[in-house]
Structure 1
Amino acid sequence: MYMDFSQLIDYIFVFFVIRSTNEKISYHFIHSKPSLVFENVSTLGIFLKAIIHFLLFSIIQHKCTMFNINSPPEPCTISNLIQILAPYVSILRKHCTSCTISIPYVSIADISYLLVRSAADKWTTAIDINVYSKNQQFRLFNSVKYGKNNPLIPSITFPFASSLQYSSSDILEKSLITLIEDHQIPKIYFKNKNFIIHFSPYSSSTTTIPQNLLNIKLINDHIEHSCFLNLDTNTNTNQNSSSSLHLNKSNKLDLSIPDIRIFIIFVQNIITSDPSHQVYIRSCFRGTYNNNLLFFNIAGYYKYCPKKKDHHQHNNVDIIINIKNYTYSIRCKDPECNNTILSWKKIK
């Protein structure tokens, strides 16, 4: 199966820039007038991570007069690849403009621009690969953050550059990643650890394949041989199996206690609402001074902060249940957060 590589270039290299401060530049994708769509946002998240892993690993594998390092002996995460490449970014950008990999029209120098310095002066990916989740449709064109004046600056190849000829509803519909209104557009699914492009009976999947098409088998082969899924993705696309996964790891729960048994499903529903967060209940205990409180300690990748209304990078959280008032609160353990005053919600 093949996909239009120019579309991939739009995803990876054609950025729409927003400057939040003089020091910070963030890159956002606008999925516009697509030649393909995805089954859901989580699948797109895995796809982008796979592409980035493939591209960074391809840099390391390439050899030239200015760049020749040993390939890593063990499977590497994206973070590992960034650490390996960080000392060579300037060399790659300056001297590898003619070096290529197994896909056309992209040089090693081009790929090296996927790496940027963060506000903390550390190398990271230009794309925030942690934001792609079940409920997020990326940032929409012409949108701004609440109370901010920071509209996106479109690239010269952005198809809505002359946006006056498009209505707001047109732009909204054409920017949604998973909007499958046109049944002739090919759709990418992620099944059995492979990306599959599905062509409808009405699409022209048998047309001549031009040179700028990418054989998606390259990415599937890379996933299989690099152990990528075990290293860089936390997405479980099978929601039916997620509950058993999390319950099996909850090895410090005394399910003989009636109160815990009653509320465990409620807590599970909160932390597994987004399948991209591989997470489980580590333990649960009753409050020492207030026996009406149950403290569920959450482990894994659920790091939601009610005050930030987003996930931190490294904190853990408790979900506290008040069995008397039938309320709950999410307590963030990040040191930057003041947890002396908690916000409580009714359990419905």
Structure 2
Amino acid sequence: MSKADWGKRLKKVEQLAGLFQQCPLSSAYKPRLSRPGQPSSIWKLFPRQCMAIHFAQSCREDVHVFALEKEHAKMGQRIYLVTSYSELWHYYSTYRQSLMHCYELIPEGAVCKLYFDLEFHRPSNSRIDGKAMVASLIQYVCEQLMDVFGIECSEKDVLNLDSSTEEKFSRHLIFILQNAAFKDNIHVGQFVHAILQPVLSVHRKGSELEKNLGVVTEDRGERGLKASSQAKRPKREERDLSFLLVKHKDGQDVLFVDLGVYTKNRNFRLYKSSKVGRNAAFTVAEDNRFISKPERNVSAEESLFLSSLISNVSFTSQKILTWDLPDPEAVKYPKPQCSSTSHCASDSLEGFQCSPHKEVDSFVLTVVNRDGIKGNIRRWNYFVSEQLLVYDILRYRWCQNVNRFHKSNNVMILVDLKEEVWYQKCHDPECRNFRSSSYPLPQDICVSYLITMDEEDQTYLMDDVGNIIPSQKSQPPEQNNQGSSSAVRVHQVEVFESWGDDSDNQTYIEALEMVERSTEFAEDDVSDELMLQTVNELEFQKDL
């Protein structure tokens, strides 16, 4: 071989080496944590919220839904991630650049913590002490929890997160109560509205507050507060809550507490995350007094992260707090009421309302309607952390432990959606620790989704440094050729079929995202009329 030929070959090898350094080849990456007992990992990305929710509900693994915002994406556009808490924390603490705009999805009907979103425009409220307002609000809410529910708490039970800037004062408050949580975030919203009625009624007419009130009325709040006096606790003097009124940019009075964060399937920004285009991530506030208690093999930082998750609530020994619903057609729960997984109230509080899993409700009714006895569902609670539906049963007291009907205490039917089984527990003190045998759920209500998917069906990929990118299949052919030399490690994702041409498809997707973000139309099933109206509005705006 001549010297010239050798030089050409060496140059070619150096070029190939440089290319492989820039685009290394690797096998498809499937995340798996190395903790003892950790199950196989799931990390799936979805273009639509309803797809992610359906997938998470069908998984036997302990998974949850999170929303991700991407830099340089269209305003409001989000990708939905399904994974476990531990898996998210592992990559969340590693790929901060890619996962820095992350939101927890608080599922519809899920038992959750009491939480607040607080903010005001600093230049318009230069004389206001934000820290003092937060401290006063925490004290007031703790007093109300004691007066209404008999729950004792203090600022040491409140995780105080801060994402303030020079332009805006911004806080998140998460109440980590001892063995107590709210039935869902709708009930949280009703409670918050009720205890803030004194300030809401002050500047209701002609202010921005009226827009935030929605369907809640002052009378309903008064009924709830009057009912609290029936608990025979000392009645406090009505507090002056005028300190919660702040000035908007336009000079109008608005509320320090954001009342719009208590809707179905609400996206709530995570600890250590910021909004797209901003660098103000939520951190522990200087005046925070809450200290997390890490479990074994969990770091203090991860423990704090888990404490900040609104729907991270366990079933064991929880008192479920409820508040009257404003819809007159809805079933009336006890007004301010404390139910418990360990005791039962009287039969006079009966009522039935569909859970998010209506097929499971129907099945449970068949279990408690037999042998001439017509049982009913008195109350349901959904613990999303364990995918557990807990039904308090009315008028059906058969207990497998004593092999007979209890004389007074009712039973519970528990449905484990992960294991696809149901079993019975008891309110009777003698059966406190009893759990019946597990029975399989009917196959027709056990909807299973495929866990593994072909790479060719992927819409989004995540590379080995955490960047979320469109798959090559979703790109035009000429872009596929440009990227054909690079093989990236990916987390597998769900894909939806496209229809029509690209412009029609994009318009429909934008319309669907607009409808799903609406608090008024938060259901998965969207009417054709509404979609057609929204598509027409988008097309009209684009023609302008």
TM-score, structure 2 as length reference: 0.28
TM-score, structure 1 as length reference: 0.42
Rg comparison, structure with higher value: 2
